């Protein structure tokens, strides 16, 4: 068994309106950060995971994303693994 650090980044699906991102973008512009655009707001979930190897760790993290951590209708996710 190896111990992994897993980071799951969940973001609003590409192409979907993200009202939160829009509001943040608007606020940035009001602060004169005019160069900022296409702001999206997502979430970061991180945890430790005991798994047999890289493939096992990735497969289990992917399963977690599909079942709970992300909603496939509205969100995309990326998984980053590193050995702890």
Partner 1 sequence: MRAAVITFPGSNCDYDCYKAIRSVLNEPAEYIWHRETDLHDADVVILPGGFSYGDYLRAGAIARFSPIMSAVRRFADAGGPVLGICNGFQILCEAGMLPGALVRNVSLQFRGIPVHVRVERADTLFTDRYEPGQVLRIPIAHGEGNYLADEETVTRLEDEGRVVFRYVEPDGRVTEAANPNGSTRNIAGIINEAGNVLGLMPHPERVVEAVLGSTDGLALFESLRANVHAGAAREA
Q: Which residues bind partner 1 (CB under 8 A)?
A: 16-17, 19-20, 23, 68-69, 71, 73-74
Query: By C-beta, is 20 or 78 nearer to partner 1?
Result: 20
Residue 52 CB, nearest distance to partner 1 (Å)? Answer: 25
Residue 52 CB neighbours (<10 A) = 11
Smallest gap from residue 7 Cβ to partner 1 (A): 16
Kindly state the smallest distance separating residue 58's Cβ from partner 1, in Å: 21
For partner 1, the closer of residues 27 and 36 by Cβ is: 27
Q: Which is nearer to partner 1, 51 or 65 (CB)?
A: 65
Cα(69)–Cα(75) distance, integer angstroms: 10
φ, ψ (nearest 5 deg) of residue 74: -125, -10
Q: Dihedral through CA 60, CA 62, CA 67, CA 69, nearest 10? A: 110
Closest to 4 measured CA to CA, from 66, 80, 76: 80
């Amino acid at each position: 068994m190896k111990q992994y650090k897993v980071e799951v980044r969940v973001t609003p699906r590409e192409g979907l309106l993200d009202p939160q991102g829009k509001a943040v973008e608007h606020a940035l512009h009001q602060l004169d950060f005019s160069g900022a655009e296409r702001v999206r707001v997502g979430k970061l979930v991180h945890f430790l995971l005991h798994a047999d190897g890289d493939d096992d760790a990735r497969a289990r993290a992917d399963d977690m994303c599909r079942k709970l951590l992300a909603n496939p209708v509205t969100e995309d996710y990326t998984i980053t693994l590193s050995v702890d």
